[in-house]
Amino acid sequence: MRRVILILVSMWIPLFLSGCWDQDLLREVRLGYGIGFDLTPEGKLFATLVVRDVPSGEQQKPIDDIFSATSRTPREARDKLDKKLSGRLRGYKYRVVLISEERAKQDIYPLLDVFYRDPKMPLNTRIAVVKGRAADVLFLRELGGTVPIAKGIDELIASEEELTSVPKINVRSICPVMLDPGEDFVLPYLMKKEERVEVIGTAMFHQHQMVGTLSPDESTVYLLLKGKKAELARFTRKVEVEGEREGESPSPYDFITIEVKKAKQEMNVLVNKQEKIKVQLNATWKVNVIEYPRDQLDEESNVAKLNKILSKDLTRLAKQTIQKMQKARCDGFGVGRQLIAFHPEVWKKKEKNWASEYQQVQFDTKVEVEITQKGIIN
Amino acid sequence: MIKEKSRITQGQLMFLILQIQVGVGILSLPYRVQAVAKGGGWISTLIAGIVAQVLILILWAICRRYPSDTLFTFLPKIAGKFFGKLLGFGYIFHFLFIAGIILILFTDIVGKWILMDTPRWALLLLMIATGVYLAKESIRVIARLFVSVSFFIIVMVLLTMAGYTNVNFTYLFPITEAGWPNILKGSSEVLISLVGFEVLLVAYPYVEGNSAGKLKAASLANMLTTLFYAFEVFTCLIIFSPAEFPLISEPLMYMLRSFSIQIVERIDLFFLSIWVIIVATSFVGYLYLASTGLGYFFHRGEHKKAVYYAAFVCFILAMIPQDQKTVELMNQIATISAYTFAAGIPFILLVIAYFSRKRRMEER
Amino acid sequence: MSFFRKLFQNNQQKTGQGNEIEVFPSLQKNIAYIQQWLFYTDDLKWRNIRFNGRDGVILYLESVADTKEIQAGVIKPIEQAKEGNITEIITAVDVKYERKLNAISQSLLQGSAVLLFDGIGEACLVQVVASYHRDVKEPDNEGVVRGAHGGFIENLSVNLFLVRNRLESQNLVVRYYQLGDATKTKVAVLYMQDLANPDLVKEVDHRLRSISIDTIISPGYIAELTENNPYSPFPQILFTERPDRTVAHLMEGRVAILAEGDPTALIVPVTLFAFYQTPDDFHSRWIVGSFIRVIRLASFLIAFQLPAFYIAVVSFHAEVLPANLIDTVKSSVERVPFPPILEALVMELTLELIREAGIRLPSRVGQTIGIVGGLVIGDAVVRTGLVSYPMVIVVSLTAISSFVVPSYEMSSAVRFLRFPLMAMAALFGFVGIVFGLLFIMIHLSKLESFGTAYLAPFIPLRIKDLKDTFVRLPIWFLNQRPHDPHPKRLNQERYSRGWEHDDQGEE
């Protein structure tokens, strides 16, 4: 019995003596919710931090506290920011990392290294590129006057992900791709428009640097071709039907909105004897017509015609997207990855200047659209 | 000879071996294998499993000759009184050393991932107190606990499944990128993590049933461990790109860092907590083995008394390394020790036992 | 110590042998002896009678004996008959003769009337014990929604009646023991001859016989003197006041111990899971029963882990909370001036205080405690910012979960276990909790109750018995008794739903 008492008593002693070594009390920390990186004219890093202030009263909405610091590295920036802050700054709940376009055109890996290295940092943080300054976006403080900025941007990107217009990625999931020589990634591309923030497509990356942008439609096509369809994927396309008058502004009757229900795609990387690389990219999309004022979808011939027009149109769009990517050297489809995996000898030869080799790759793209549903009217 | 109360069933033997095998190495295993064998790492793991199976066969073949003897009682019968004792002490040292290494790696990883500022002695004390509390019991109680704790291995597999939301199978290819020699070399890395089947040497006489059944249990345990390892290695291989691998020394933990289940994020912390249990079982296993040896030599077979100072020796061992270099060195010693005592010596013993029996037959 | 005990025991036996005096021929001498033996206690009464022409006396203790019964069953027949054979005349049921004065005096204490006659060296003992017992009522601490509502009472023979009544089998064996050198408490051990393992019965017998103590007041005494590991926080003997539960356990081959003067049956051996079962599980449909049982077992985990988990989260691993949740939690803990462990300790101890006060007070005042505890403390403590809202939620959840346990002893054990776990969590976070749990698990797997592993059928694993452990499968699935008490016969159900196949044949 004495033993038991001894154990029980001795367990409590250290609690009141020294506290605990690793204790990191939630009530004492200040949580960083978002961070933005810009480039100063001198080439230094300009970091803007969003710290969440939670008033302790009931039913009071949280406020974001925003301030900046200039430094050489992200960690130094954080230490400088911490000096301006009461309480210890903790980064384990970052929801977004924003990088200005200017900064993204340089190597972005150093910005993220601390996320990968520190076991306390979150890896499911969303990351996006901002046209203009990231600080400007964060200093909006609130989105639409109600939602705090960091949370707002996080949710904004999340809803765009559902629409397949930006990829579903976070700090963690871009890492393997970023380090892999045979594949590149794209990030959401934001812009401040008046007092709101808008997703204006995606930013293409090559290795660690940003190399160009894609428009929302191009982004969706790219993601669909890659097989990354999210909940919804919609296109509004102009379908020129006969009897169209020239010179007039397009009437709403000329447009169709489709929703891709099922996307099937197949990518084949072929290498011929001359070690020319050819990529066959075939996609079949089963779509649902969700807006088409011209109606008349009960007639087989009309549907067939529409299928044809849409196929042609979207194939063109796909080709345009791929061209843009090739020009920017962004190997978003992982052609290099396929070479590494299945044609290692070819890869060995092309590895050195893969970027320029990639631009030479011949893409054979084809999109087949098939209308399968048309809502409850014809 | 063996009391009815301390007998274990064959199923319990299986889990005993399984729990001692699956241990501290699992977190960094994919990293170590990939470094050598690249995309063929999972093949290395399977090969290592087969090698371990052969070793189990050797151990079993020795044990079968002395169905009611543990390692320490049959060693003198094979190698003579003096050498038998010497080898016995060698084995005790081996067990203690492995236990010490387990403690070192445990504090290392916990100190790296969650408790950065907690002093090493505090963590060691936690682990050793728990270990002693169990290791002083009979093998039956230990085996019973190991059976139910094995449930956590299933949880580990399920947690790993979370990783399959974002995988890229092309990272595996080309499978033989590193070449077969390297794949074989990779399997030697795995073999160290498969060590633990030596428990058969001590546990054998405690197990009910015939020798074939015991072999089956041990083999099944080894197979399950191998499959579990192969699964984990495979998963890591398709999640991390080859270029990313060298950066991450505990890939299993790392891959779970970004996943979340509705109400909790950071599954890796839960994974680590489960891993702590798995490590504790391995530690208890080795502590028990060492203290049975010490008990046999100094306390007339009562291992209970030996547990305390055996644990103290482990504590001292684990307090020695203060930098990564010493850890590496001790790790290497442990590797050599494992090869010697789990593979080399048993093989020699088997040969000696075989020939001495033959000679005896001829003399007759 | 044992030397002294031996010495003491020997002395007792010697004095006992010295007192083996036979009945004196003289009536007065006998009365004087008995009076002296009872130290002239005032409730020793006697009445003179005449029978067969001899002077006699009826002695009894008015506090134990039923005077009406003496009047109707002894005095009246004797007065009427005047002479004859005394056993034939007396209408009371239990009559016996005794020569030893010592035993005669002892029987007075047990409620006999003693008939002594001048010149006869033998006394006639008539059992006329008065019994005052309350009605058979449903036990307050083990209520059920449906099913039998009877419970044991403070009278052993009524309790035995309740069991026998439910189990009309020749195999039900009752063995009496007398425990307590001063109290002489009558204890009955019940078991099924064809089911209970003989080793188990022998073990129970052995442990009961080795009890050497002056007083046995509550069954807690017997439990503490016989259980395997008295240092463990876990109860190793099941206490129940329900005859139906007792019978169910007897039919699983366990042993029940009942004591005079207490409505509690002690059941051995038991496993942890027995504490989480109630007769209600079998009265409701099996799906519902299983569901409730799973909830109950989950409550076991919640009850001792939730505070520790919460402490670990807010003081070590806040990163496990998702972004939306962390705001809520953080805004609430922000104002609290204490470390979470202190906060939790204060709240948990307050809860224990309220609970303890609630039990001791009469029910009318008890309501006040509820108001003071729940409203005043619960609300005020948060409003002043001494304790955070989540902590209050955590503490109340733990309290509720711990009260779900059908056994009061287990519920206390679980509530006690929280404290070491909380300390571990405050020291090492998740790692501390894991080690704490591992420690408890090791402890549980070491623990045995009368030769049965405490965590059976989970440790050691026996898949067949899991059918009635975490869930309750339909009764026709449970073909075998649980294995943990090592019953002599395993089969308990054969082919009860055979009629299903009969019906098909007719069609």
| pLDDT tens-place string over residues A52-109 | 877 666 566 777 888 889 998 888 888 888 888 887 888 888 889 999 999 999 899 9
- What does the DSSP assignment read for C384-408? TTSS-HHHHHHHHHHHHHHHHSS-H
**Residue C2's pLDDT band (boundaries 50, 70, 90)?**
very low
CB contact under 8 A, C330 and A122: no
User: What is the mean pLDDT of the segment spanning B52-78?
Assistant: 88
Tell me which residue of C181, C92, C171 sits closest to C128, measured CA to CA.
C92
**What CATH number does residue B294 fall under?**
1.20.1740.10
Minimal CA separation from B263 to chain C, in Å? 6
Q: What is the pLDDT of residue B19?
A: 92
Q: What is the pLDDT of residue A249?
A: 67
What is the side-by-side strand order in the sheet with C54-61?
C44-51, C54-61, C112-117, C123-127, C95-98
**Residue C325: closest CA among chain B residues belongs to which residue?**
B263
**Residue A183: closest CA among chain B residues belongs to which residue?**
B241
Higher pLDDT, C217 or B240: B240
**B27, part of any domain:** yes
User: What is the mean pLDDT of the segment spanning B197-217?
Assistant: 89
Positive or negative: CA dihedral C288, C290, C293, C297? negative
**B129, part of any domain:** yes
CA dist C62 and A321 (Å) reads 109
Count of residues making up chain A: 378
Judge if C179 and C34 occupy the same domain. no
CA dist B24 and B30 (Å) reads 13
**Residue A248's pLDDT band (boundaries 50, 70, 90)?**
low
CATH class of A215-242+250-378: alpha beta
CA dist A33 and A46 (Å) reads 17
Q: What is the pLDDT of residue C430?
A: 92
Minimal CA separation from C417 to chain A, in Å? 11
Query: Is residue C144 less than 8 Å (CB to CB) from chain B?
Result: no
- How many domains does one find in chain C? 3
Tokens read off for A98: 């924003």
CB contact under 8 A, B260 and A124: yes
Minimal CA separation from A114 to chain B, in Å? 13
Domain encompassing residue C61: 14-127
Judge if C249 and C393 occupy the same domain. no
Q: What is the pLDDT of residue C258?
A: 92
- Identify all chain C residues contacting B110, using CB atoms and an 8 Å cutoff: 431
Positive or negative: CA dihedral A327, A328, A334, A340? positive
Judge if C255 and C287 occupy the same domain. no
Tell me which residue of C323, C274, C489, A102 sits closest to B263, measured CA to CA.
C323
**B196, part of any domain:** yes
Interaxial angle between packed helices B267-298 and B120-135, expressed in degrees from 0 to 180 and rounded to the nearest 10: 60
Tell me which residue of C501, C214, C151, C431 sits closest to B271, measured CA to CA.
C431
pLDDT for residue C346 is more than 50: yes
**C433, part of any domain:** yes
Tell me which residue of A228, A255, A261 sits closest to A332, measured CA to CA.
A228
**B210, part of any domain:** yes
**B164, part of any domain:** yes
Minimal CA separation from B290 to chain A, in Å? 26
pLDDT for residue C72 is more than 60: yes
Q: What is the pLDDT of residue C475?
A: 84
**Residue B270: closest CA among chain C residues belongs to which residue?**
C430
Tell me which residue of A176, A70, A197 sits closest to A123, measured CA to CA.
A176
Judge if C109 and C144 occupy the same domain. no
Count of residues making up chain B: 364
CB contact under 8 A, B115 and C428: yes
Q: What is the pLDDT of residue C432?
A: 92
CB contact under 8 A, C438 and B123: no
**C62, part of any domain:** yes
Q: What is the pLDDT of residue C190?
A: 93
DSSP-derived letter for residue C169 is -
Q: Which chains touch A (3 or more CB pairs under 8 A)?
A: B, C
Judge if C93 and C146 occupy the same domain. no
CB contact under 8 A, C429 and A22: yes
Judge if C25 and C91 occupy the same domain. yes
User: What is the mean pLDDT of the segment spanning B220-240?
Assistant: 92
Of C65, C92, C127, the domain-final residue: C127
| Mean pLDDT taken over chain B | 88
Q: What is the pLDDT of residue B226?
A: 93
Chosen for mutation from C234, C331, C348 (greatest number of chain A CBs closer than 10 Å) is C331
- Identify all chain C residues contacting A154, using CB atoms and an 8 Å cutoff: 323
CB contact under 8 A, B122 and A344: no
Q: What is the pLDDT of residue A242?
A: 55
CB contact under 8 A, A341 and B172: yes
Query: Is residue C93 less than 8 Å (CB to CB) from chain B?
Result: no
Domain encompassing residue B131: 4-335+342-355
**B362, part of any domain:** no
Nearest to C459 among B144, B266, B272 (CB): B144
**C72, part of any domain:** yes
Q: What is the pLDDT of residue A7?
A: 67
CA dist C81 and C486 (Å) reads 58
Tell me which residue of B116, B250, B168, B327 sits closest to A116, measured CA to CA.
B250
pLDDT for residue B276 is more than 90: yes
pLDDT for residue C271 is more than 50: yes
Q: What is the pLDDT of residue A13?
A: 63
Predicted confidence (pLDDT) per residue in C102-113, tens digit: 888 888 888 888
Minimal CA separation from B194 to chain C, in Å? 24
User: What is the mean pLDDT of the segment spanning C114-139?
Assistant: 84
- Identify all chain A residues contacting C229, using CB atoms and an 8 Å cutoff: none
Minimal CA separation from B324 to chain A, in Å? 18
Angle B118-B122-B126 from CA coordinates, rounded to 5° = 125
Percent with pLDDT over 90 in chain C: 15
Predicted confidence (pLDDT) per residue in C401-429, tens digit: 888 888 888 888 888 888 889 988 988 88
Angle A159-A165-A169 from CA coordinates, rounded to 5° = 70
Judge if C251 and C227 occupy the same domain. yes
**Residue B272: closest CA among chain C residues belongs to which residue?**
C431
Tokens read off for B348: 């020699």
Q: Which residue has the tokens 């390297």?
A: B182
Minimal CA separation from B291 to chain A, in Å? 23
User: What is the mean pLDDT of the segment spanning A216-229?
Assistant: 90
- Identify all chain A residues contacting B114, using CB atoms and an 8 Å cutoff: 22, 119
CA dihedral (B173, B174, B179, B185) in degrees, to 10, reads: 0
CB contact under 8 A, A26 and C332: no
Of C225, C249, C270, the domain-final residue: C270
Judge if C448 and C299 occupy the same domain. yes
- What does the DSSP assignment read for B187-253? HHHHHHHHTTTTHHHHHGGGB-S-HHHHHHHHHHHHHHHHHHHHHHHHHHHHHS-TTTGGG-S-HHH
- How many domains does one find in chain B? 1
pLDDT for residue B26 is more than 70: yes
Judge if C332 and C436 occupy the same domain. yes
